[in-house]
Chains A and B, each alone.
Chain A
Amino acid sequence: MHAPATLDEASALLRELASAQRTIGITGGDVPSGPAAVPVDDVVSTRALDGIVDYVAADQIVTVQAGMPVARLQAELRKERQRLAIDPPAPERTTIGGAVASASYGPLRTRYGTARDVIVGMTIVRADGTLARGGGKVVKNVAGFDVPKLMVGTYGTLAMVGTITFRLHPLPETWTEIVFPGCDPDAIRTLCNDMTQAHLEPSRVYAVYDGGAYACAVRFEGFPAGVASQRSTLLSFAQRESREDISLEDEHEAARTRGELQVKITAPASMCGSMHAHAIAPLFDVLTGAGAVFYPAVGAAFVSGDCGDAARVLTVLSQARTWAERAGGTLVTTQAPASIRTAFDAWGTPPPAFALMKALKDRFDPQHRLNPGGFVGGI
């Protein structure tokens, strides 16, 4: 494993690996992961590229190296009462580069979007070792093509992410989280629609499934008056049991990070009921030690667990994927044991613009040495 400590070292390393025609997997830790982790000649870790390059709190802009764990960055930003408005699971071990390369997100997406919505610049190390910069260190910038945003979710198949510049948000002064236990999918949908109708602005809405019902958590953040007003509005129309003395954080984190099989399903937010019936519940039932969470405002669910009877799991996965793709969404196995991986494509049906994606791959990595076969459609 290689662990360059500077961008120049990374550049020299990738140049050398290019001339030796070696295939490369990029990781923030020790082993490359990702939906379709494939064997490679060399592993390049960003673990030694783990510092803040530049942080100007007054501009709410930070530039960090890809290998910095998300939690460590957030701790630094907290000192200035700021944060990076993405909350991928396992922040202690997820690196910033990993979160960007996998487009990973948590429930804060409800309000703030994904990494692509907060990235303003990036330096990449291309397959040929060349360092290239895109964007800048200002929030507003339309000079040239947005290569930095294009890198989000590419799983190390186009280039290695070196440093990333983000726009930051102020840390909310206060927050409150209300949990509604015993919800069915329709109740969650109604709750979300009613919040929209009432012009409420929750920062996170997520629901944890226990095999019988969902507990739905709604968080409001901001200044005290706004948080208090939203809380009372919500409680006034949500005519059901609510709790403010419990947290679903641990169950949420477990469902996102535990289990040998981890599945992400997306569908239109309005199809919450059928998503439950056709994907979340069947997968939960077939897995051992299963966990499931659902982000109703996003239209995304995550189910995880151990496989036990792989043949049955495969059947359910295929049926759930068929449903999701018909609904206009996707089903991706973001992590899977070999028994599943060899029989079930991690990604699913390549999208209509797949030829363009292949063309991009051919331009950025003409010899197909970066995480070959690790992406959609065998890219």
Chain B
Amino acid sequence: MFADIVGAENCITDPAGLRVYECDGLTGTRVRPAAVVLPSTTDEVSRCILRARELGMAIVPRGSGTGLSGGALPIAGAVVIGTSRMRAILDVDIENQRMRVQPGVINLDISKHLAPLGYYYAPDPSSQSVCSIGGNVAENSGGAHCLKYGFTINHVVALTMVLASGEIVEIGSPVADPLGYDLTSAVIGSEGLLGIVTEVVVRFLRKPQATRTVFATFPSTDEAGEAVSHIISAGIVPAAIEMMDKLAIEAIVAATHVDWPLDVGAALLMDVDGIAAEVDETAQDAIDLLRAAGALEIRSPHDETERQLMWKGRKGAFAAMGRISPNYYVQDGVIPRSDIARVLREIADLSARSGFRIANVFHAGDGNLHPLVLYDARAGDESERAEHVASEILQICMKYGGSITGEHGVGADKAAYMGEMFGDDDLETMHYVRCAFDASRTFNPTKVFPAPRLCGDRAGAR
């Protein structure tokens, strides 16, 4: 089907080869695509898109496949276009702090490439050692440090993308204030519905002068939540401030051998970065506030190795759940920060009522919760019931005026909730954007929107 474009070795159609691509990070749902193609140039992507359209196939774009909402979940009969072979760093402009890369470049590799020169790329999703920048663009990925530094959308300035027509377009600019509509904002976070991005220009930052990391434990999430509120209201903007509850700490300790105490109710892991003199001052202020809020123990790592270990513990939290439960369902919801304590209590009630253990690991600074519903898939209908419990958590988020997803995306997993968070008119407006880019709805046709919508062909008639 596509072998003449990408070479037979990069066109997968055999069942064994396709199995790898049946799902992304949302492993509970699997669909076998008709084919997977792995192009290596923008031109090949364009030709693959045209071929797929000739064959009447839907297209599912895919980066590293680490997404947690099924954005890269195949659709039956569709072709998956993967960007994993497009891994070249194309240009680095140190003085203007811009770097042009292919979409398959791994997030962390950008920072690694820049590290000898003292620069880095700010967005740091937990999966940063395996996730690709193209996937980050599709999902508008964040990470622990987006509290201070923002998300992918704040750090990507230009894109090359291929549209459903096969046309290759340049969007945005490495230079300030490109003319016209801000299409970059439309494409970033569009979850593969608008086209396939084949080049990404990122803005990178100078490494901060200093970073101080503080780890603190608390009797319960109430005190930890209060500490976060006090730090933020003191005018401190930590680079990151992460909370883990008792169950999460247990799992992390079991999986990573960090020497965190187990007899506590919650822990905070915080980075303060910036100008050295200021960091020392604000870290001390933050420590005083942690203590005043009832911290049991406060630690700072002795060296960079210990600091990395602490963050490894936090970033490996999801996977660590495997140590304390056969299966777990990762939820991703957002609430206003000041409601953290109330929402955590509601989640605890939900846990008691449903009988499911729920671990909480989250970005406390911006109210982005990641409750993990623990279950055993072998036990009767636990999978379905756990999923139901996870969906109730989203209802709680929406009740508090929050969001159904802070960073994992809507994908296939949460399309049904879009109609609850947004009204029909809101969704119709988003649909305008989709139709402007891809009226044929070739890309990821079943994702994000709760019900099929046609684009109509009369728009623009005048």
Contact = CB atoms under 8 A, between A and B. Distances in A.
A373 to B, nearest CB: 13
Interface stretch (B32-40, B272-280, B301-309, B383-391): B272-280
Interface string B144-171: 0011001101100000000100000111
Interface stretch (B201-209, B261-269, B346-354): B201-209
Contacts, number: 276
A131 interface: yes
B186 interface: yes
B459 to A, nearest CB: 5
Interface stretch (A55-63, A248-256, A305-313): A55-63
B95 A59 contact: no
B84 interface: no
Interface in B75-102: 93, 95-97
B181 A150 contact: yes
A144 interface: yes
B175 interface: yes
A56 B233 CA distance: 12
A154 interface: yes
A71 B278 CA distance: 29
Contact of B334 (A140, A199, A222): A140
Contacts of A154: 181
Contact of A330 (B150, B163, B179): B179
Interface string A128-146: 0011111011111111111
B171 A353 contact: yes
B429 A142 contact: no
Interface stretch (B3-11, B13-21, B317-325, B396-404): B396-404
A171 interface: yes
A199 B207 contact: yes
A140 B436 contact: no
Given A146-B189, A363-B459, A225 B232 contact: no
Contacts of B46: none
B413 to A, nearest CB: 12
A339 interface: no
A130 B429 CA distance: 9
A333 interface: no
Contacts of A126: 425, 429
B366 A226 contact: no
B208 A199 contact: yes
A264 interface: yes
B198 interface: no
Given A113-B154, A149-B182, A140 B368 contact: yes
Contact of A366 (B189, B367, B462): B462
Contacts of B452: none
A364 interface: yes
B169 A264 contact: no
B277 A229 contact: yes
Given A58-B338, A196-B206, A352-B169, A226 B281 contact: yes
Given A61-B336, A362-B436, A298 B182 contact: no
B71 to A, nearest CB: 11
Contacts of A264: 177
A308 B408 CA distance: 57
- Range of interface residues on chain B? 35 or more
A145 B462 contact: no
A351 interface: yes
Nearest to A229: B277
A153 B337 CA distance: 30
Nearest to B406: A140
B456 to A, nearest CB: 10
A102 B242 CA distance: 36
Contact of A131 (B175, B189, B403, B425): B425
Given A140-B366, A351-B180, A150 B433 contact: yes
Interface in B420-451: 421-423, 425-430, 432-437, 448
A227 B276 CA distance: 11
Given A56-B336, A143-B403, A266-B175, A366 B460 contact: yes
A238 interface: no
A350 B140 CA distance: 27
Contact of B146 (A103, A140, A366): A140
B25 interface: no
A150 B186 contact: yes
Contacts of A91: none
Interface in B279-306: 279-282
Interface of A: 56-61, 81, 103, 113, 116-117, 124, 126, 130-134, 136-147, 149-150, 152-154, 158, 169-173, 193, 196-197, 199-201, 222-230, 264, 266-270, 298-300, 327-330, 332, 347-360, 362-364, 366-368, 375-377, 379
Interface of B: 93, 95-97, 118, 139-140, 142, 146-147, 150-151, 153-154, 163, 169-171, 173-183, 185-186, 188-190, 206-209, 229, 232-233, 235-237, 274-282, 334-338, 363, 366-368, 401-410, 414, 418, 421-423, 425-430, 432-437, 448, 458-462
5 contacts: A59-B337, A142-B408, A142-B409, A146-B153, A200-B275
Given A170-B235, A299-B176, 12 more contacts: A134-B430, A137-B336, A140-B334, A142-B139, A152-B185, A172-B235, A173-B235, A196-B206, A225-B278, A351-B180, A356-B437, A357-B183
